[in-house]
Structure 1
Amino acid sequence: MKRLIATTLLLNALFVALLLPRYPWIPWIAADALLLAGLFALLPRGRGKGLLAAAVGALYAILAFFALSDVLVRQSIGRPFNLYLELGVAGSVFDLMESNLGIGLSLVVLLVLAIVFFALGGFVARLLSRLGAGTPARAGQGVALAGALAVAVSWFPQSTVGLSASQLTATQVQLAADTHQATQAFRQYLEDNPEAGEIASLAELANIDVILGFIESYGISALTDPRYRPVIGARLEQMEQDLRAAGLHIVTGRLRSPVQGGQSWLAHTTLLSGQWINTQLDYEIFLASGFPTLINDLDSTGHDTVAVMPAITEPWPEGRAFGYDRIYDANTMDYRGPPLNWVTMPDQYTWSWFQRRIRDQARSPLFAELALISSHAPWVPVLPVLADWDSIGDGETFNQWRDSGEAPASLWRDPERVREHYARALDYALNVATGYATRHVDRKTLLVLLGDHQAAPLITGDNASRDVVVHIISGDRELLEPFVTNSTLPGFSWGTQPDEDQGGPAMARFRPFLQQQFSAGAPPDAMEISATGTIEN
């Protein structure tokens, strides 16, 4: 009897641990633990009981992996763990680990986690297999009955009786069903609305260089959060002064990104396509559809279309599917400086290389998408901005900072210092983008600088807006007038400060807006699909 009580309490604690990340309260009773303890107390000893205990232990290890993954996913990209989606990005997660920790340490971390989960599963199996000896049948029946009642009660709304295995499993099944429904709806939309995918020639931009610079993790929290506003607010004030002194004009607004904390390619594709793409499955469906994008729109006006992707270090077949004339990645950008943890090269080099190798040699109007990655986690080291841009060359000058800054594993032990480094890295990204604009933007340039997504919840806090800041710069004021006078893309105004109180429209509205304002035809409204599969215009 004592063994039954002690084992039941220990099992309850182990199963409650699976529930803690998901509930704002502490669920004192894990109903599955009671039910399992009672049932195993009633089972006779034998091979069958041992095998069943091993199966339950394996299930517990899997659920423990789900619980840990849910915490990590919520803190990194601001949504619950969804196995249906996560399987498609597991490779990208490992690449991120490798770039920050190195291949050796990454493998050690994975091995340690595997050992921990295996040990947990084995411990649960051993506890269950030892139940029964010397336990009165009536006691086992009582615990099993209490567990069955707790399981039933726990399924009622607002119940404070926690469930582990059944509820976590049901959650993943429901998420998979909802995600499948959403992706099927998106696939059907693309098939049923070919007119939405028509190319619109942006005739009024025919002789304009259109440059799209995605600044990593430049979310609205950089201004609305008092921890970052002093740094970023001051940077935007200086940016406005510098642009005005250079004879340039700027309008600023905000757009809602489909993602937070990661998966930047979903935000890039949403903006380029005019379709709401918030899962890896939708991304793959979109690429397979042949649906045109802003790249095709500007290609039809005679623009040379170029992608500058310094974060890409492996083959990128998806890039070819977008239809760029040329794609440059980390291996083709002639960088001779040091890698900076995850960041392959600093933004100042990316801007300098782009101007020297692409714009200065262009023989036709240019459309370029640049991924500006200096403000990508882990935000260490943060380099100074070189005053002499002509000295940048092939980047060897950055070797003086090869070993500067501490290791990411050290910095990330202190969340407050991580947040400080985030603000500094974003300040650097905005500083060098401003430096590029004052030197190379003119009346024949439309420079769009925007965030791809908010930083992770560790930086923004939970439930932060998913809006990003958007700056549009040109030497020609008339090019910017439509952004502040047209209501189809609300919220833009002159200057560098976005509206901090009013949320922005979806990022998917940007391409239709350009089509409406800079070409003769007006396309259908952009489509949004929510996580539950609902289609919204």
Structure 2
Amino acid sequence: MPVFTHLRDTRIRTRLRDARDAHPVAARTLRRAVHVLAAALVVGALLMPNTALGLRPDRFTRIPAEAIIGAVLLLALPRRPRIVVAALYGAGIGVLTVLNLLDIGFTEYLGRGFNVVLDWGLLDDAQSYVADSMGSATATAAAVGAVVLVLLLVGVMALATVRLGNLLARHRVHATPGALIAGTVWVTCAALGVQVAGMPVASDPAVDALTGQTQRVVDTLRDEAAFAKEARADAFGATPPDQLVPDLRGKDVVLAFIESYGRTAVEDPLIAPGVVHTLDTRTAALTKAGYHARSGWLTSATYGGNSWLGHSTTLSGLWIDNQQRYRTVTSGDHLTLTKAFRKTGAWDTVGVMPGVQKAWPEAEWHGLDKVYDAFDLGYEGPKFSWSTMPDQYALEAFQRLEHGRKRDKPLMSEVILTSSHQPWAPIPELVGWDELGDGSVFDAIEKAGRKTSDVMADSTESRREYGRSIEYSLTSLTQWLERYGTDDTVLVFLGDHQPISRVSGRNAGRDVPVSIVAKDPEVLEKIDAWNWTEGLRPAQDAPVWKMSSFRDRFLTAYGSVPHPTEG
């Protein structure tokens, strides 16, 4: 077999040599073009920024120190070590390019760079999101395509660097002084601060990128130990049951999170008119029904996604802005807002989680006696992109299964509403509450809705449809309260995070609206000192708190007495 392989390779080389000899000009032109392409790939990868805003022509007018150092190193090595080092160097550049691309993607969607320690699991979540939004075939194709692209990128970079190393070796007489001149120019430009189009000519972007990634790893490892100690400390960790939320005894408390309900929904020029109209209209309707509301702002621990970080931050009173912190806190016994109600023994606790489609062991940490996931609510209608069911149906099922039942204790409920989850197409429409049935009524609405691909490709359409989805969620929730609430119902609802930058803008903050609604005037009197805005729409200058401060403020406002546990 090796003999036949050798003969085949010999024939191929002979044919290539014959073709080159027959067309010398074309062969020389092709060879030079490949050299130029290899150099462009390597230098371009070295200069590549890790943010979408950095993808500008002026970023590629610099001289990368890594290219000069690499050239000097390859010139100094004999053939075999040179090929090995060049291949490893090129593969390293390819890996760094992949990390830069991940940084760009994470920054666009989550407002932060990629963390090589914590974020690999989120890639699996991303595939699940694509499968839920656009189908399993698309998700599989995207995953396979991403793997092939990564392998191709690393392989091509390695081949390009080997080719450039061989080129330098063949022209060592001219390449050696050329590398020395380039190094001198780099040092001179660095010393004088020479710039082109506002960017320094001398740069070491790959070193900067690698340093940034390394610093994230170090910070993550340090934070893990520090946060574990922080999570063990709890201002209300040892509070006796009878001293927790005594001023809400007898009340049915509903804590609802509205997916991606951020400040952008209330202030963006394109989105806000519809959302503000909805908030004002629903405030008037609730007032007519005897309810009153107060609203403010919370700064979320997450942005664009990872909703569970916002939920756990609100419930725990801890700043949970990454997956390691989430794992740490949910594996412990830190008191959550929902668990505080259960600890009293005076409330039943329930969770309505239409977005949960697999085992969810965090239910115990949340302090929920019963959890209804996507499969427990009796829904037989269509999915709306990622959302397993319309908010209106989830709320009606909550009413049928728990809130509307006669019971010995009041109810503390955590409800996650998902209809405003990206990609915001198709969006459900409100139907008569008596027409909901098993959800089949939504079949025609889903079929008539917009296609996900049409909205995702257009930033303006994404913003417009995002606004419509928020209007739908707000109306569903407040109509549910208007229809089924009692004199003893207290509704607390808030956004978990801002929408992605394609909708909120690149410089958007992390603020989300939060509201408390009740008929009993004493419930709102307890938070008079908060100076929140009357109604469902927080004023632009309403107080802004960190989301992690909400638990303790809420517990304190309703009579809870701190009894700290030590870290």
Q: Is 1:15 paired with 2:46? A: yes
Counterpart Cα distance in 1 of 2:446 and 2:301: 35
> Which residue number corresponds to residue 383 of structure 1?
428
> Which residue number corresponds to residue 170 of structure 1?
211
Counterpart Cα distance in 2 of 1:49 and 1:94: 39
Identity percentage over the alignment? 31
1:23-102 to structure 2, matched below 5 A, reads: 23=54, 26-29=59-62, 30-46=64-80, 48-102=81-135
Q: Is 1:493 paired with 2:540? A: no
Shift of 1:170: 1.2
Q: Is the 8 A contact 1:258 1:276 kept in 2?
A: yes
Q: Is 1:342 paired with 2:386? A: yes
1:495–1:523: structure 2 CA closer, same or farther, 3 Å change rule?
farther
Q: Is 1:439 paired with 2:473? A: no
Shift of 1:188: 1.6
Letter in 2 for 1:269: S
**Considering only aligned residues, what root-mean-square deviation do their CA atoms show, in Å?**
2.8
Q: Is the 8 A contact 1:8 1:33 kept in 2?
A: no
Q: Is 1:307 paired with 2:348? A: no
Q: Deviations over 1:135-177 (max 9, x none)?
A: 1345235426735984998799995534343221211110111
Letter in 2 for 1:426: I
1:205–1:19: structure 2 CA closer, same or farther, 3 Å change rule?
closer
Counterpart Cα distance in 2 of 1:72 and 1:84: 17
Shift of 1:66: 1.1
Select 1:473's aligned residue among 507, 511, 517.
Answer: 517
1:496–1:339: structure 2 CA closer, same or farther, 3 Å change rule?
same
TM-score by length of 1: 0.90
Shift of 1:312: 0.4
> Which residue number corresponds to residue 236 of structure 1?
279
Question: Which range moved further: 156-165 or 100-109?
Answer: 156-165
1:281–1:208: structure 2 CA closer, same or farther, 3 Å change rule?
same
Question: Which range moved further: 312-321 or 336-345?
Answer: 312-321
> Which residue number corresponds to residue 535 of structure 1?
none
Q: Which runs of 5+ in 2 are unaligned?
A: 1-30, 194-198
1:103–1:237: structure 2 CA closer, same or farther, 3 Å change rule?
same
1:196–1:521: structure 2 CA closer, same or farther, 3 Å change rule?
closer
Q: Deviations over 1:376-409 (max 9, x none)?
A: 00101112211x2011122121122242323322
1:204-223 to structure 2, matched below 5 A, reads: 204-223=247-266
Counterpart Cα distance in 2 of 1:263 and 1:309: 15
Shift of 1:267: 1.0
1:34-433 to structure 2, matched below 5 A, reads: 34-46=68-80, 48-130=81-163, 131-143=167-179, 146-147=182-183, 150=186, 161-191=202-232, 193=233, 196-199=236-239, 200-299=243-342, 300-363=344-407, 364-386=409-431, 388-433=432-477
Q: Deviations over 1:268-305 (max 9, x none)?
A: 11111111111111111111221111122111141100
Shift of 1:108: 1.3
Q: Is the 8 A contact 1:412 1:418 kept in 2?
A: yes
Counterpart Cα distance in 2 of 1:481 and 1:152: 68
- Secondary structure (helix, strand or coil) at the match of 2:112 reads coil
1:17–1:361: structure 2 CA closer, same or farther, 3 Å change rule?
same
Q: Is the 8 A contact 2:48 2:59 kept in 1?
A: no
Q: Is the 8 A contact 2:236 2:564 kept in 1?
A: yes
> Which residue number corresponds to residue 518 of structure 1?
558
Q: Deviations over 1:193-220 (max 9, x none)?
A: 3555234521111100000110011111
Question: Which range moved further: 357-366 or 397-406?
Answer: 397-406
Letter in 1 for 2:430: V
Q: Is the 8 A contact 2:286 2:478 kept in 1?
A: yes
1:12–1:61: structure 2 CA closer, same or farther, 3 Å change rule?
closer
Letter in 2 for 1:358: E
Counterpart Cα distance in 1 of 2:439 and 2:41: 58
1:20–1:317: structure 2 CA closer, same or farther, 3 Å change rule?
closer
Letter in 2 for 1:14: A
Q: Is the 8 A contact 1:384 1:428 kept in 2?
A: yes
Q: Deviations over 1:341-373 (max 9, x none)?
A: 100000000111111111111412000000000
Letter in 2 for 1:349: Y
Counterpart Cα distance in 2 of 1:21 and 1:154: 26
Letter in 2 for 1:359: H
Q: Is the 8 A contact 1:250 1:496 kept in 2?
A: yes
- Secondary structure (helix, strand or coil) at the match of 2:283 reads helix
Letter in 1 for 2:395: W
Q: Deviations over 1:223-263 (max 9, x none)?
A: 12112111111111111111112111111111111111111
Counterpart Cα distance in 1 of 2:184 and 2:392: 63
Shift of 1:493: 2.1
Runs of 4+ aligned residues of structure 1 deviating over 4 Å after TM superposition are 1-10, 147-160
The higher radius of gyration belongs to 2
Counterpart Cα distance in 2 of 1:356 and 1:154: 70
Question: Which range moved further: 322-331 or 342-351?
Answer: 322-331
Shift of 1:431: 1.1
Counterpart Cα distance in 2 of 1:99 and 1:148: 55
- Secondary structure (helix, strand or coil) at the match of 1:217 reads coil
Question: Which range moved further: 398-407 or 223-232?
Answer: 398-407
Counterpart Cα distance in 1 of 2:59 and 2:106: 21
> Which residue number corresponds to residue 533 of structure 1?
none
Counterpart Cα distance in 1 of 2:309 and 2:486: 30
Question: Which range moved further: 465-474 or 492-501?
Answer: 492-501
- Secondary structure (helix, strand or coil) at the match of 1:84 reads coil
Counterpart Cα distance in 2 of 1:248 and 1:293: 27
Q: Is the 8 A contact 1:295 1:367 kept in 2?
A: yes
Letter in 2 for 1:210: V
- Secondary structure (helix, strand or coil) at the match of 2:95 reads helix
- Secondary structure (helix, strand or coil) at the match of 2:545 reads coil
Q: Deviations over 1:25-74 (max 9, x none)?
A: 5242232223323433443333x333222222322221221111111111
- Secondary structure (helix, strand or coil) at the match of 2:422 reads coil
1:159–1:288: structure 2 CA closer, same or farther, 3 Å change rule?
farther
Counterpart Cα distance in 2 of 1:263 and 1:372: 14
Shift of 1:442: 2.4
Counterpart Cα distance in 2 of 1:522 and 1:303: 20
Counterpart Cα distance in 2 of 1:51 and 1:391: 70
Q: Is the 8 A contact 2:384 2:426 kept in 1?
A: yes
Counterpart Cα distance in 2 of 1:449 and 1:133: 67
